[in-house]
Amino acid sequence: MVNTQLNFSTAYQPQTDGQTEVVNRSLGNLLRDLVGKHVKSWDQKSSPAEFAHNHAVNCSTSFSPFQVVYSVTPRGPLDLLPVPDKTRVHGKAADFVHGLQEIHEAVQNNLKNAAMKYKAVADRRRRHVEFEVGDFV
């Protein structure tokens, strides 16, 4: 229905999964800032750190990880202050999947645009070199 694909990676080779390494580094920095001098309280700060990471909008995708997975924006602590409307209506499964597919298409387009921007910056420093047969490289 959603066309997902599971890719396996070994736990003993963290270099094979760059996305996880980036997330782990980000969460480590966030936990370090939240814990401060109280190093032994890291376990109490892990849930708020996870929520903050999943709620933050990624600059390359323009969506939060929570939106990419669930196609909705999560409620934060400030959203919970007013009394929520109890007459909320849930959409149908097809509407959910359609919304999720639209977000995934937008993420793909945003990632392609970000990659083109990164490539343009990297290509500014490159120079084109013509090689001839017999040249040492």
Domain ranges of the chain: 17-56, 59-73+91-124
Handedness of CA 22, 2, 49, 74 (dihedral sign): positive
**CA 78 – CA 61 distance, rounded (Å):** 24
Determine the pLDDT at residue 87.
Answer: 55
Q: Span 115-120, mean pLDDT?
A: 90
Residue-wise burial string across 81-95, b where 16 or more C-beta atoms lie within 10 A, e elsewhere: eeeeeeeeeeeeeee
Amino acid at 22: V
The average pLDDT across 56-83 equals 83
Q: Quick one: pLDDT band at residue 6, thresholds 50, 70, 90?
A: confident
Mean pLDDT for 17-34 is 84
Which residues lie closer than 8 Å to 46 by C-beta, 6 or more apart? 31
- pLDDT for residue 99: 85
